[in-house]
A and B are shown apart, each in its own frame.
Chain A
Amino acid sequence: SAVISQKPSRDICQRGTSLTIQCQVDSQVTMMFWYRQQPGQSLTLIATANQGSEATYESGFVIDKFPISRPNLTFSTLTVSNMSPEDSSIYLCSVEGRSQGYGYTFGSGTRLTVV
């Protein structure tokens, strides 16, 4: 399975500021996914980062709040903009396994606390 490096691992941010999370994969992948995991909760898909095209967002998530970049097939960033305490969460990137649509692997996550 792919090896994913995600950073930062954690951060404490002031409300109203923005944080950019980076995700680097050791192999080329078509799609990268960004999930949010609120404390003690499940994983919710935020958006899919597509190389060469705009990211596709899930219901309830918008580009202005969570802009995503995908400059190449091994890298993506997620920005959490104009943060509020409700954005405190773990953010995880994920990629498919060798077979498209199967075997998702997750990065180590970014624990964000907004104060």
Chain B
Amino acid sequence: GENVEQHPSTLSVQEGDSAVIKCTYSDSASNYFPWYKQELGKRPQLIIDIRSNVGEKKDQRIAVTLNKTAKHFSLHITETQPEDSAVYFCAANRRRDDKIIFGKGTRLHILP
């Protein structure tokens, strides 16, 4: 079946440095790739998404890149801050019914 692989499962970076989280997807027909941030005890929040007709999208310190040929996409956070500490989930739509399938998540720690 369709699945989304996410790496790494845990990531620690110094405050101010950049963080990169990578995902691959199996459904070559997927065309929508959202990223969610989940803080402890809270609901997942959509932070950025990209559709397959573009290769990159930026929103302030956050950017997402998409390589359709290789079927992978990445989240880039620059100038990390303590409030960036959270679990991040990548996801992709399952094209046959447009349902969203999630990766296993990356726990990001921002070190002081």
The total of Cβ contacts below 8 Å across the A-B interface reads: 45
Interface residues of chain A: helix, strand, loop or mixed (majority): loop
Contact B46 A103 (CB under 8 A): yes
| B residues in contact with A44, CB < 8 Å | 102
- Taking a contact as CB atoms closer than 8 A, the residue among B43, B93, B104 that contacts A106 in the complex is B43
Q: Which residue of B lies closest to A109 (CB)?
A: B43
Using a Cβ–Cβ cut-off of 8 Å, how many residues does chain B contribute to the interface with A? 21
| B25 interface contact, C-beta 8 A | no
Picked from A42, A102, A106, A107, the residue with its CB within 8 Å of the CB of B105 is A42
In the complex, A73 has a CB within 8 A of chain B: no
Contacts of A53 in B (CB 8 A): none
Q: Is the CB of B1 within 8 A of A102?
A: no
Residues of B within 8 A of A43 (CB): 44, 89, 102
